[in-house]
Chain A
Amino acid sequence: MKPAMKPEIQLVKSEAPEAQPSTPATLVLIGINHTTAPIEVRERLAIAPSDLAHATRTLLRHPGIREGLIVSTCNRIEILTTQEALADATTPSTLPRFLEEFFNVPASTLTPHLYEFRELDAVRHLFRVASSLDSMVVGEPQILGQVKESYAAAREAGAVSTTLEGLLQRAFTVAKRVRTETEIGSSSVSIASIAVDLARKIFGALTGKTILLVGAGKMSELAARHLIQHGAANILVANRTQSRAEHIAAEFLSSNCTTAIIPWDQLHEQAGRADIVITSTGSPEKIFLRTHGQQLLHRRRNRPMFFIDIAVPRDVDPAMNEVEGCFVYDIDDLQQVAQANLADRSREAAEAEAIVALEVEKYQKRLSARDAVPAILALQQSAESIREAELARTLTKLASSGLTPAQQTAIESLTRSLTAKLLHPQLVALRKSATAPDED
């Protein structure tokens, strides 16, 4: 999808944010998705993959932005940034203004559909998006690839540094963990992919299998294309209108797929050449009856046949499913499988949410431990400077006593040892308090 109005993008290489200021930053994520915005709004905010790096560079020039990443798919646009620390949770982010300016969309159109997450909520949302828990079809695998593309674009734009690098790597790990430890993406939920799954349960590899397309329809052609992608190599086309049959056959003809036309009056004699029959005619009468199934199986020496009946009213008599070796699935059967698989995915999603929650907690602990480092360093430096000052004062006082170098070294060693021992409990407490859960 293209944005309604493509913004002016300047090809100026921005400064890579390698040397970040040591002042604290806030993690902010804003976005819209299929649940918050209609397609009319989403399509105005879409960015083509080739424009992602440029868009990210523009984002990086926005005031207060240190790091940035833009994820744009047909169902969502998400902007993840680290910004100059915002005063508190109620301080508004400037990111909506970036969206308004970049896409030339008025605030009144955008604001009602926007969501914003900060800090750990942003981390949780990113983990959920990458793990496909926030997708329209939960468990679909494309979103992780899209987030990775966005990451590559952001790196190309020099918009990813310490914080986002660590966070995104963690998000990829979480997504992988969700995919391997749950069955969230294991079952198909589209009609075409279910048809492929069923065909593979019957025939195993689909290499060299023959498909017969009876009638014409978008869904049947989509199913046939899916089967070809999985190895089916021959397409037979039967249509009441010869010219339509020729047109369909020409569409499917390619280097890895041969096509042939079966005259309509020879359909029942020649249907046995096909392993998979996809029917989608507008015929009010059944085209394949139980007796046809028996004849076809006899001609095929009982090799199985798979009928995918997408037509309404149905083209294949359901009684044909009783013939040994004939497998008949109509549109309701396929949708029933899709629903069952979706329900499976929902069950797995609960397990995936638990993994995400655990990973967010782990991430928080890591961040807290990292946050404690400056305080620890400051304490150590302060103690060291006091020690050095006190040592210098003492050595000056004792200079008249004529201390030997060995005695001076012993005194210095004593001060070091005392400082370390006095600091130790404080440092341990600091580290513990950083990683301990918030009591409030």
Chain B
Amino acid sequence: MSLLWLKLAVLLYGVAALAVLPAALYDRPNWRHLAIPATVAAAFFHFVSLAEMLVAAHHRLPVETHELQSLFALLLTLVFLVIYARFRAIALGIFVLPLAFLLGILAAFRPGHEELLPLRTGWIYLHITLLLAAYAALLVSLLASVLYLIQERRLKSKASVLNWIPALGTPLEVLDQIALKSLLFGLPCMTGGLLIGSWIAQQTMGAQYFLDPKILLAFAMWVAYCIMIFIRRHSGLRGRRAVYLSSFVFLVVLTVWAANQFSAVHRFPTP
């Protein structure tokens, strides 16, 4: 049954991903009225599916790749909905909804089967959720920065060169606030996730665990995240340079993710 709900959610993500294009790019309110309810419904069925999937597997945390993908897509969607509720900024949906759709498709049609360490503590669940939430926030921040750049270029080009780019309904300052506030939301999540992960590792494997280069890379990721927030807050970094900085930190995050996926040591579900 959980896969059925997930497939329904994927279908709704697909509808929302299509409807968001005219809503955001051509400012058509009728499409907005389709995109947002479809997203809310998709998130609901996605949550039901995930909950049923975890219950059916007799565990309370996502331990397989498709479960992680599914949870990440859900968190990303929730971040988008929160931003929409706060700023009425639908433009982010242009990227977020197709991404949620693709991650959902992978989870719905290619279930994973990885065996992971048999940790059954609630702290692991929190560790994973917090880190995924931090990644989702970082991704949203990066997307908002990219949208800022597009909107800025369009405004600067006036009525000539970049006129083929449809105007985004979201103003520059709102995009900037979304980018910064997403980062500010992501930092405590990442900090909490890393601290909880470190504590669990200390309990289960001891101090040698922290000599693993990929673990050091994870802490480097946290430092880069902090530096990025510091620079954005104190120099008001926007536009092109903000995109570069966010992209760099996102690259670090991807590296940490990949390192964790391929490492033989750290196979409990840190993404």
Binding site for B on A (CB under 8 A): 186, 198, 200-204, 300-304, 321-322, 324-325, 327, 329, 333, 336-337, 340
Interface residues of B in 226-247 (CB under 8 A from A): 234-241
Q: Is the CB of B172 within 8 A of A202?
A: yes
User: What is the CA–CA distance of A322 and B156 in the complex, to the nearest angstrom?
Assistant: 8
Q: Is the CB of B236 within 8 A of A329?
A: no
Cβ of B240: which chain A residues have Cβ within 8 Å of it? 324
Tell yes or no: B1 within 8 A of A by CB.
no
Residues of B within 8 A of A333 (CB): 158-159
Interface 1/0 per residue, B169-195 and A, CB below 8 Å: 001111000000000000000000000
Given A201-B167, A324-B239, A325-B239, verify A304-B159 contact (CB < 8 Å). Answer: no
The smallest beta-carbon distance between B213 and chain A, in angstroms, is: 36
In the complex, whether B155 has a CB less than 8 A from a CB of chain A is: yes
Is the CB of B151 closer than 8 A to any CB of chain A?
A: yes
- A201, A303, A327 — most chain B CB neighbours (10 Å): A201
Q: Is the CB of A203 within 8 A of B239?
A: no
Q: In the complex, A325→B236 CA distance in Å? A: 11
Considering the complex, give the chain B residue whose CB is closest to the CB of A333: B158
List B176-226 residues whose CB lies under 8 Å from chain A.
none
Chain B contacts for A327, CB-based, 8 A: 155-156
Contact with A along B140-178 (1 / 0, CB 8 A): 000000000001100110111001000100011110000
When C-beta atoms are compared, the residue in chain B nearest to A200 turns out to be B171
Asked, given contacts A300-B236, A324-B239, whether A204 binds B155 with beta carbons under 8 Å apart, the answer is: no
User: Which residue on chain B has the smallest CB distance to residue A340?
Assistant: B159
Partner of A303, one of B156, B158, B159, B236: B236
User: Chain B residues with Cβ under 8 A from A200's Cβ?
Assistant: 171
Contact A204 B173 (CB under 8 A): yes
- Closest residue on chain B to residue A209 by CB atoms: B173
**Total A-B residue contacts, Cβ distance less than 8 Å:** 52
Q: Are B235 and A302 in contact (CB under 8 A)?
A: yes
| Other-chain contact of A321, B151, B156, B174 (Cβ < 8 Å) | B156
Please measure, in the bound complex, the distance between the C-alpha atom of A296 and the C-alpha atom of B151, giving whole angstroms: 21
Given pairs A198-B155, A303-B236, A324-B240, 12 additional interface contacts (CB within 8 A):
A203-B171, A203-B172, A203-B173, A300-B236, A321-B156, A324-B238, A324-B239, A325-B239, A327-B155, A329-B158, A336-B158, A336-B159
Q: How far is the CB of A347 from chain B (nearest CB, A)?
A: 14
User: Are A204 and B235 in contact, with the CB atoms below 8 A?
Assistant: no
Interface flags for B18-53 (1: CB within 8 Å of A; 0: not) read 000000000100000000000000000000000000
Nearest first, the 10 closest Cβ-Cβ pairs linking A and B are: A301-B236, A204-B171, A302-B236, A336-B159, A204-B174, A324-B239, A333-B158, A204-B173, A202-B172, A340-B159
Which residues of chain A are within 8 angstroms of B234 by Cβ–Cβ distance? 301
Q: Sort chain B's interface into a size bin.
A: 20 to 34
A381–B167 Cα distance when bound, in Å, is: 65
From residue A292, how far is it (CB to closest CB) to chain B in Å?
A: 17
Q: A201-B151, A201-B155, A202-B155 are in contact. Are A302 and B237 (CB under 8 A)?
A: yes
Q: Which of chain B's residues have a CB closer than 8 A to the CB of A304?
A: 172-173, 238
Q: Which residue from chain A places its CB closest to the CB of B156 in the assembled complex?
A: A321
Chain B positions within 8 Å of A203 at CB level:
171-173
Q: Which residue of B lies closest to A329 (CB)?
A: B158
Chain A: minimal CB distance from B112 (Å)? 42
| Complex Cα–Cα for A329 and B156 (A) | 9
Closest CB in chain A relative to B31 CB, distance in Å: 14
B171 touches A202 (CB 8 A): yes
Q: List 23 A-B contacts (CB under 8 A).
A: A198-B155, A201-B167, A202-B155, A202-B173, A203-B173, A204-B171, A204-B173, A302-B235, A302-B236, A302-B237, A303-B236, A324-B238, A324-B240, A324-B241, A325-B238, A325-B239, A327-B155, A333-B158, A333-B159, A336-B158, A337-B158, A340-B159, A340-B163
Q: Which residues of A contact B171 (CB under 8 A)?
A: 200-204
Closest B residue to A198 by beta carbon equals B155
A202 surroundings in chain B (CB, below 8 A): 155, 171-173
Question: From residue B2, how far is it (CB to closest CB) to chain A in Å?
Answer: 41
A228 to B226, CA, bound (A): 39
Closest B residue to A306 by beta carbon equals B155
Q: Give chain A nearest CB distance to B144 CB in angstroms.
A: 13
A203 and B32 alpha carbons, distance in the complex (Å):
22
Residue of A with least CB distance to B241: A324
Specify the chain A residue showing the minimal Cβ separation from B168: A201
A301 touches B235 (CB 8 A): yes
Alpha-carbon gap, A200 to B27, bound state (A): 15
Give A303 to B238 CA distance when docked, in angstroms: 8
Q: How far is the CB of A204 from chain B (nearest CB, A)?
A: 4
Compute how far the CA of A336 lies from the CA of B157 in the bound complex, rounded to whole angstroms.
Answer: 12
Residue of B nearest to A199 (CB): B171
Bound form: Cα–Cα A261–B110 in Å: 67
Chain A: minimal CB distance from B105 (Å): 35
Complex: chain A residue closest to B169, CB-CB: A201
- For A202, the closest partner residue in chain B by CB is B172
Q: Which chain B residue lies CB-closest to A322?
A: B156
B239→A337 contact, CB < 8 A: no
Residue of B nearest to A341 (CB): B159
Contacts of A303 in B (CB 8 A): 236
CB closest residue in chain A, given B155: A327
Chain A residues with CB under 8 A of B151: 201
Report the bound CA distance from A322 to B173 in whole Å. 19
**In the complex, what distance in Å separates the CA atom of A198 from the CA atom of B151?**
12
* Minimal Cβ-Cβ distance residue in B for A328: B156
> Which residues of the partner chain A approach B235 to less than 8 Å between Cβ atoms?
301-302
Cβ–Cβ < 8 Å partners of A321 in chain B: 156
A322 to chain B, nearest CB (A): 8
Pick from B27, B163, B238: contact of A302, CB below 8 A.
Answer: B238
Chain B residues with Cβ below 8 Å from A301 are 234-236
A333–B234 alpha-carbon span in the complex (Å) = 33
- Residue of A with least CB distance to B27: A186
Give the chain A neighbours of B241 by CB distance below 8 A: 324
Chain B residues whose C-beta falls within 8 Å of the C-beta of A201 in the assembled complex: 151, 155, 167, 171-172
Determine the distance from Cα of A204 to Cα of B158 in the docked complex, in whole angstroms.
18
For the complex formed, measure the closest distance between the CB of A375 and the CB atoms of chain B, giving whole angstroms.
44
Rounded to whole Å, the gap between the CB of B4 and the closest CB of chain A is 39
A327–B239 alpha-carbon span in the complex (Å):
13
Which residues does chain A contribute within 8 Å of B239, judged by CB atoms?
324-325
CB-defined contacts of B173 to chain A, threshold 8 Å: 202-204, 304
Q: Which residues of A contact B158 (CB under 8 A)?
A: 329, 333, 336-337
